[in-house]
């Protein structure tokens, strides 16, 4: 998980920064920033995790505006066609892995594991960031810190296993509904 931020230089001294300090501020996610984040952060993180257990990884992205899903899935899938990863214990040997990007069906949050439950699960453990009279950090920095702390402490393997099991059951419900969503996810 990576915050969408850009660097800013403080022009004046304040209780948060000295003049000349460089700090992060929230930024808008554009297609180019999204694609760069996938190439520079997500793909290397995937390659680090896969070890020898996967030859192909599928990454599903949603159709959020900054993702430019149609263009990004094509661009990133082309980029991820034939990546080489070192063999564990044999750094001089490499193997090939394919990372494919696909787009979530439009307006179908029930088929996105993040929308299905990951965000709610994380949100339930993120510390509430209150407005304070004399804070030492701006609220956006406190929020980023709280989300990253929750993500680090989140039991991802266990939680994601449960979420993907739920996703499998939801997909079966969608198929039974001929693509509809006339079912209660909580009863799946």
Instruction: Give me the torsion for CA of 109, 113, 116, 118, rounded to 10°.
Output: -130
Residue 59 tokens, joined: 């990454």
How far is residue 83's CA from residue 76's CA, in Å, rounded to a whole number? 12
The residue-averaged pLDDT of 80-92 equals: 80
pLDDT in tens, 150-169: 888 888 788 888 888 888 88
The residue-averaged pLDDT of 91-119 equals: 81
pLDDT score recorded for residue 132: 63
Run of H or E residues at 135: none
Residue 188 tokens, joined: 């799946």
- DSSP secondary structure code for residue 104 in this structure: P
Where is pLDDT greater, at 93 or 101? 101
pLDDT tier, 170 (very low <50, low <70, confident <90, very high otherwise): confident
Write down the domain spans for the chain.
1-104, 106-188
The residue-averaged pLDDT of 23-41 equals: 91
Can you spell out the DSSP letters for 20-78?
T-EEEEE----HHHHHHHIIIIIHHHHHHHHTTS-SEEEEEE---GGG-HHHHHHHHHH
């Amino acid at each position: 998980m990576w915050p969408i931020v850009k660097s800013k230089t403080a022009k004046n001294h304040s209780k948060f920064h000295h003049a000349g300090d460089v700090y992060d501020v929230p930024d808008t996610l554009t297609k180019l920033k999204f694609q760069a984040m996938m190439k520079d952060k997500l793909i290397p993180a995937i390659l680090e995790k896969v070890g020898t257990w996967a030859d192909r990884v599928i990454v599903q992205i949603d159709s959020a505006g900054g993702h430019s899903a149609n263009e990004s899935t094509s661009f990133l899938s082309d980029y991820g066609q034939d990546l080489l990863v070192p063999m564990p214990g044999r750094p001089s040997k490499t193997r090939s892995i394919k990372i494919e990007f696909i787009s979530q069906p439009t307006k179908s949050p029930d088929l996105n594991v993040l929308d299905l439950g990951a965000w709610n699960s994380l949100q339930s453990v993120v510390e509430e960031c209150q407005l304070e009279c004399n804070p030492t950090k701006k609220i956006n920095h406190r929020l980023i810190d709280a989300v990253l702390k929750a993500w680090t402490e989140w039991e991802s393997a266990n939680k994601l296993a449960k979420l993907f099991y739920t996703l499998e059951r939801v997909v079966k419900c969608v198929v039974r509904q001929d693509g509809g969503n006339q079912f209660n996810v909580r009863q799946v």
